[in-house]
Structures are given as C-alpha cells and as structure tokens.
Chain A
C-alpha cells in the first residue's frame, strides 16, 4: 500500500507517473515556464525543477551544458524557487520538486530555504549529493514543514536499500544504472531484480531514471515501476530548439517540443 504520497494532497496517482526534469533558466526563465506547460500538457505528474550548479558531480555533459546556459542567465537557488509562483500563474498545477546540489542550500541556510519553499509553494526537494547518512536533520525539517524530501537509491546501495526505501517520502528515485546522468539505459535482469527489491520496501511510488531516452525505454520502465523520470533527453530536445528560439520561432519550437514529448511518453 502506498500511503505516504501526497505532495500536499496534489498527487493523487501512485502509478504510471511521468516525472520530467528541466533546468530553471535554460535557456531563459521565461522559456522554462513554457516547457513546463508543454510537459504538463503531455501528461507530466510532477516537475523536477533543477537549480544550475557550477560543479554538478552527478551530471553528465548534457545537464552540465544546461546548467552553464542557466548560470549565464544568473539563475540561482533563490531565483529558481521564485520561479514556482510564476509557473503557477502560467497554469502549471502539478507538484514541483526543487532539485538542487547541497552547497547552495548550505549558503542559504535551512531556515531560509524552507521559508522560501513555503512562501513560493514548492512541494518537494531533492538533493543529489546529500545521501541518507548526511540528511537526517533536513529530512526531519522537511517532514515538519510538509515538504517531500525525495531520496535516491542505486543498484549498489546494497544493504542500505531497505533503510532508504522505508524512509522515502514523495516518490523514490531509483537510479537504474551506475554513472552520471545522460548515459544509456539498460534493463538487465539485475536492474529488474533491484527495482523489485526497492518496491518491496517502499511506501511511496518507485520511479526510475538515468538514461531513459526512447519510447521503448519508457514502456519498459513503466512495466516494472511506478514512474519514469526523464532528464537528459528533455534537455537535448531543448538544445535542439535553441537556434529556433534565437530566430524568434518560439511558438513553432514549443509545439515541436510538445510533440516530441508526447511521442516519447505516449
């Protein structure tokens, strides 16, 4: 029974979730809002809003490039959180998870961080370089404030899988392959048994990410888990339209983006 999913009551589904990732400010904050709207239209259930970071250790070249473009727009943790009410205004209703590396959160301070999440209406937070052992305090604070603190679990988490899965909130991010983001997706027998093990211990939907880039990948992930997380593939689609945006063909580019996403997750 999946009992702990809520995102402040905004997430009613617990299976077949589509969870896209975009980097706030890539290539501009305004376009981030437009992409979010198209993703929602294509069926997104939760939006992972990435905060660009100078040294993204868990990310491959695709998301690194997106972060660089966003940093050139002076995007920051503060501005990314402040983008949430603008998303709402434009019509994005799905829950938003702020995806940020840990250092910007330290500089902001936990108090201000949670205050900002509350003021701006972000429902979740994911910190890829803050493993279970280092996150006790922030998990406690998140629970107190009603913010979903999303945990990650990897094939080599081993004996820690049970502990991580049992304490997971919101949804559980299952890293399907070892490596940084943007690699290729493989669903070996080992991966499948890993996902199965995670599901046994999890009270929340188990979503799979890292390397999902085709409709076949999506179907495969759907079959074996509760949701699919897509990041680098979306960034590559955005990259493919950068020229069109520069040439003022925004509407056409956004429509193409929507169609691509629609085909990807249909």
Chain B
C-alpha cells in the first residue's frame, strides 16, 4: 500500500515537522484538531466547494493553446486557467478554505504574508467576504514592485504592514507574520499562502489547492481521453504545483516543477531552492533551503516576487528526493520571453511567476511529437506585473 503523507508527526519522508518556538505548539495543535474535524465534516467541504463555484467562478477552464502548439511544432499544449479564478490566481482557493476554517474556529482576525501580493489580495478578499479583520505582512521591496496589489489590498479593507528586515521580500514578511502570530495567537488565525510552514500547514494548503489537479484530470480526460504526458507548474513555496501535481502522483504522467533561476544558477542571484539548496529548517519546516556553510539563510533573487523565496514546501523536498517530480529552473530572461510568446500567440498575459513554468514547457514541447500532450498550470494573470514589465521592456528598447 502507498504510504500516506504527511504522517502523524507532519512528515513527508525526511521533511516537514514542526520546528517552532514553544509558544506556537499550542496554536498549531488547536489548528490541527480544528482542521481534521472540518475536513471530515461533509457540510464544511460542501460549503468550501459551494464558495469556489458561485463566488470564485470555478471550475476554471482548460484551454487548448492551438496556435502556440502549432508554432512550436511539438506536443499539444493545454493550459489550466487559474488566471480566470476570482482575483486572478490560484491563491484564492486556499484563502477560501482557510478563511472558512478561521470562521469555524471563531477567529475574527486573520494575518497573512505575501510576496507578489496575490495571496495578500486573496486573503483581503476573503476577509471582506467573510467579515474578518485582515493584516497583511509584505516586504518593502515587494511593496515597491507590486504596488498595484498593495492598493488592491487596502481597497479591500486590509492593513498592509511593511517589513524592512532582510531584503524586504517574502522570507522577511513570513518571519514577521509568524512573530505577530506568536504574540496574538489567541484570537488570530494565520492564513499561510503556500505549502510551507510547520505542520499542518503544508498539508492543509495542498488539500485546499488540489481542486486544481482534480478538475484538470477530469477536464483533460474529457477532451483527450487520456492523461497528459507531462505536467508543468512554477514553484515558489509550491502551492500551485502541489495542488496540480497531487492528484496525478500515482499516474504515469511526468511532473515538472519549475523554480526561478533569476540571473542564472551559477550566479548568487537566484531562487532555485531544490536545484542549488541543501536540507535544513526554514519557517518551521525541515526542507531544502538556500543557506551558507554556517546555516544562515541567504537572500534569494528573482524578478518575480512570488518565486523570490529561499525555501520550498517540505512535500516538494520529498518528491525531489524520491524523484517523483523533476525540478528545473528558468532565468528571468527566459521567463519574460515565454510571457511575450504566450501573450502574442494566445492573447493571455500570464503572471511572471507562471511564465517560468511556460518557459520550461515551451522548450520541451518543441522537442516532443504532435501525438504527445502537455498540461501547464497557468497559475495567475499578469495584471499585477504591468509596472515591472513596463520597466523591463522600456529598458530593452
């Protein structure tokens, strides 16, 4: 029989667990109990799926990228359109799940960390919808490059708290959110945005994101009558990838996670955690991370705020170690050309995070045959990235 992960200690093989200050052990225990109870209550699951359908607009479509497939001359390319999800990315699926759980637990205040701002926007959205108070921790640098999302969060009624420690990116925002939670755990729910953090977060976020893979499988079988040969997703913390991959883990599809290579994995400026990192503990979880020989966490770099993170979810570390998923990395430059190509050929402007998955998929699709099929998780739309894109393409001119 296939072993079920995580085990009762929250481990995915060698990874996962709870490496947190003692003050968080109580709140994590409380969360785990509430989660287990909710997930075995059909009424809760029905409510979650109902909100996904009538509020978020799910199921999202599966689009066949016909023009692009022809142009690349290889495999047939399908796109799972999480960009069409309400608020423009997969992040809302998880925020809805955790928001409903917060309400069920009687917590009226939520806190969240955000990088690209998509999770912050998703959290602010569910806070507005479910009548919760919301604080979003965001790094200074990310506030600069994701200005539009900062405004969206404020408009939605959330308080955005600027974090200046470190590089002022997602890692630092997460530290600060955890610290705030430690001090305020009695009445606050910490709504983590990816499959990271201490147990039970990686499992919870995966289970609220697996709707992506579940829908994809059904939709793909309807149009192609068989499963895709390869499935691609970008990996920051790893939630859109875990959500997409999880329902396919026992299937004969090849799964490919794509990390950010920034300015190149041979430079210090990248965020390719599995490609270049080593095992250790970050944000309460044993996983792979980017660190120096003394075990100090190093600062990552990527043009995309959502992938600019020195860790990765522990389940990915396990899937990497056991070779169930292949992990590749894509530079800023490659991602931006893929973004342009998709925009020109299919009329879809993807998020820069997503463009990393596209770039790897396009490279490989061209080498495949027209009888083969691939599926790409189009995790989000590019609206939030307009300022970065303008800056970049103007520099090029």
Contact = CB atoms under 8 A, between A and B. Distances in A.
Given A129-B281, A131-B25, A156-B185, A104 B295 contact: yes
A152 B21 contact: yes
Nearest to A106: B280
Given A76-B294, A133-B9, A102 B22 contact: no
B25 A54 contact: no
B22, B283, B284, most chain A CB atoms within 10 A: B22
Contacts of A154: 21-23, 25-26
A178 B186 contact: yes
A104 B179 CA distance: 20
Contacts of A240: none
A55 B295 contact: no
A158 B297 CA distance: 32
B243 to A, nearest CB: 26
Interface stretch (B12-20, B218-226, B350-358, B364-372): B12-20
Interface string A155-182: 0111010001000000000010011100
B178 interface: yes
Nearest to B23: A154
A54 B296 contact: yes
A178 B297 contact: no
A156 B27 contact: yes
B171 interface: yes
Contact of A134 (B18, B27, B280): B18
A194 to B, nearest CB: 12
Contact of A157 (B9, B18, B22, B279): B22
Contacts of B57: none
Interface string B11-51: 00000011111110111010000000000000000000000
B280 A107 contact: yes
A57 to B, nearest CB: 6
A58 interface: yes
B165 interface: yes
A185 to B, nearest CB: 13
A107 B178 CA distance: 23
A103 B26 contact: no
A161 B26 CA distance: 11
Contact of A179 (B165, B171, B183, B293): B183
Given A71-B296, A131-B20, A58 B182 contact: yes
Interface string A64-95: 10000001000011100000000000000000
Given A103-B280, A152-B21, A180 B294 contact: no
B169 interface: no
Contacts of A105: 295
B278 to A, nearest CB: 8
Interface in A46-68: 53-55, 57-60, 64
A153 interface: yes
A54 B179 contact: no
B214 to A, nearest CB: 32
B340 interface: no
Interface in B200-220: none
B125 interface: no
Nearest to A60: B179
A57 B22 CA distance: 11
Interface in A96-126: 102-108
Given A55-B282, A133-B18, A107 B25 contact: no
Interface string A5-31: 000000000000000000000000000
23 contacts: A54-B166, A54-B296, A55-B166, A57-B178, A57-B284, A58-B182, A103-B281, A103-B291, A104-B294, A106-B279, A107-B280, A128-B21, A131-B19, A131-B22, A133-B25, A134-B19, A157-B22, A158-B26, A158-B29, A175-B22, A178-B23, A180-B182, A180-B183
Interchain residue pairs A-B with the least CB separation, the first 5:
A156-B26, A179-B183, A104-B295, A107-B295, A76-B294
